[in-house]
Amino acid sequence: MSDGQTPQHPQPADDNPYQRASAGWTGTESHHTQPLPPAYGAQSGFPVQQPAQTPPRERAGRGRAGLVAAVVATSLLVGGGAGIGGAAWWDATQDGSGGSSQTSPVSTSPVASQSQTPAADGSVESVAQKVLPSVVKIDVTTAQGGGSGSGIVLTADGTILTNNHVVEGAEAGSLTVSFDDGTSAEAEVLGTDPLTDTAVIKAAGVSDLTPATIGKSANLGVGESVVAIGSPFGLDATVTSGIVSALDRPVNVGSDDQGNSTTYPAIQTDAAINPGNSGGPLVDLTGAVIGINSSIRTAASQSPYGGQSEAGSIGLGFAIPIDEVMPIVDQMAAGETPTHARLGVQVGDPQTGEGAGAVVSEVTPGSTADKAGLDSGSVVTKVDDQRITGADSLVATIRSYRPGDSVTLTWTDSGGEEQSAELVLDSDATQG
């Protein structure tokens, strides 16, 4: 496997609870969720989901509409008559029994005159005003149909960051980007990276876009308020808010053509993320991008019209931390092939009852893991201060580093002895 640390526990696509948050692909017959495919802080050069189709409703003919209108009109008329009759009867009985015929004064709710005030700094409203001009909707045509996603403007002349799965399989001339001011432009793909699920595209003929401000995901804390912006189900310029529910959550959404897993240490949020939000920004309350909305955890449900219904938000959304992909984004924007850190092992999850860690099944000869003394049967338990809970956890953690970074690796060898060593991570650019 080319990434050097591929989990050995592939899941069938139908059993994977994580759904990529791109809008449903449109075929000739119906809308359906795109099948699920079977990270790197460095200074950047850039400034710091379709419901199952329901049967068409029966159109009411002219005669039916007239009948409905007549019934409604009759109902209203009867209701009005009953109201008047009731009131008149009440007054008559009161007058006849010596009661007062005076009616009680009618009280109405006061109407407040509200003036529009500027949005308070740090409010969701102010964040939306700042970030919306930097978010785009992306419409894509592939051989399988069409779909939509979102993107983040990186440069005034049209460099845009999105997810690989949004533009994957796009045909030439099939990308259209819609901007906040209502205009649109065709776009081309500059580069893609399936391992981190990122891509960079370039819109043609634009020059005055508003670039997003890139923040630092390393500064996030659990419980911090965040805002997600994108085009869920094609509804552009949609704003939702929530908090950071967890950090460094290992999310595996599938694998590339070579079997290398698309796994990243995600930011988990309860801000509503739905199909079509993919590629849009997750921002903090300063309006700085700290993540790329990419996937959701779903509760599978059955459509009443047959088949599985399209996934929707249940408050478990995941974003790719921006720190870990900006060096890769820079490489793609420059037309270079993205590179990733490698440990040089293939790993699996421990058997039930064996405790946490990533079990090494194979070590690449000459790799940094081989030089450190890891062997088949070793169990990696920690990278620096990050506890490793399984195969996905190790892959996601290693991908949060860059080639050449030094890390302290802790593992239990095949003989049961705990070992620790400082090693320099390899690059997949040098793999044989």
Reported in sequence order, the residue ranges of 322-413 that DSSP labels E, i.e. its strands, are 341-342, 345-348, 358-363, 379-383, 386-387, 406-412
- For the chain, what's the residue count? 432
Residue 95 within any structural domain of the chain: no
pLDDT score of 16 more than 80: no
Residue type, 164: N
Total of domains in the chain: 2
Those residues with Cβ within 8 angstroms of residue 224's Cβ, 6 or more apart along the chain or in another chain: 243, 244, 284
- For the segment 103-107, the average pLDDT, to the nearest whole number, is 64
Q: For position 356, what pLDDT does the model report? A: 86
**DSSP letter assigned to residue 16:** -
Residue 93 within any structural domain of the chain: no
What's the rounded Cα separation, in Å, for the pair 245 and 317?
9
Q: For position 334, what pLDDT does the model report? A: 95
- For the segment 23-29, the average pLDDT, to the nearest whole number, is 34
* Greatest mean pLDDT range, 6-10, 59-63, 360-364: 360-364
Shared domain for 157 and 240, answered yes or no, is yes
Q: For position 421, what pLDDT does the model report? A: 96
Shared domain for 295 and 244, answered yes or no, is yes
DSSP string, 145-193: EEEEEEEEE-STT-EEEE-HHHHTTEEEEEEEEE-TTS-EEEEEEEEEE
Low-confidence winner among 33-47, 100-114, 250-264, 308-322 (lowest mean pLDDT): 33-47
Shared domain for 321 and 396, answered yes or no, is no
Low-confidence winner among 70-74, 215-219, 261-265, 416-420 (lowest mean pLDDT): 70-74
pLDDT score of 5 more than 70: no
| Full residue range of the structural domain in which residue 397 is found | 341-430
Those residues with Cβ within 8 angstroms of residue 256's Cβ, 6 or more apart along the chain or in another chain: 37, 194, 195, 262
Whole-number mean pLDDT of the chain? 79
What's the rounded Cα separation, in Å, for the pair 392 and 411?
16
The tens digit of pLDDT for each residue in 168-198 reads 988 777 999 999 999 999 999 999 999 999 9
Shared domain for 377 and 297, answered yes or no, is no
Q: What percent of the chain has pLDDT over 90?
A: 57
Instruction: State the catalytic residues.
Output: 165, 197, 278
Residue 108 within any structural domain of the chain: no
Q: Is 330 helix (H, G, I), strand (E, B) or coil?
A: helix
The tens digit of pLDDT for each residue in 138-173 reads 999 888 788 899 999 999 999 999 999 999 988 777
Q: For position 142, what pLDDT does the model report? A: 84
Of 338, 357, 389, the last residue of a domain is: 338
What's the rounded Cα separation, in Å, for the pair 224 and 220?
7
Shared domain for 235 and 294, answered yes or no, is yes
Shared domain for 158 and 281, answered yes or no, is yes
**Domain harbouring 362, CATH code:** 2.30.42.10
Those residues with Cβ within 8 angstroms of residue 1's Cβ, 6 or more apart along the chain or in another chain: 258, 259, 260, 346
Q: Is 326 helix (H, G, I), strand (E, B) or coil?
A: helix
Residue 116: its H or E element:
none
- For the segment 345-349, the average pLDDT, to the nearest whole number, is 94
pLDDT tier for residue 121 given thresholds of 50, 70 and 90: confident
**Domain harbouring 188, CATH code:** 2.40.10.120
The tens digit of pLDDT for each residue in 351-398 reads 876 678 999 999 999 999 999 999 999 999 999 999 999 999 999 999
What's the rounded Cα separation, in Å, for the pair 223 and 243?
5
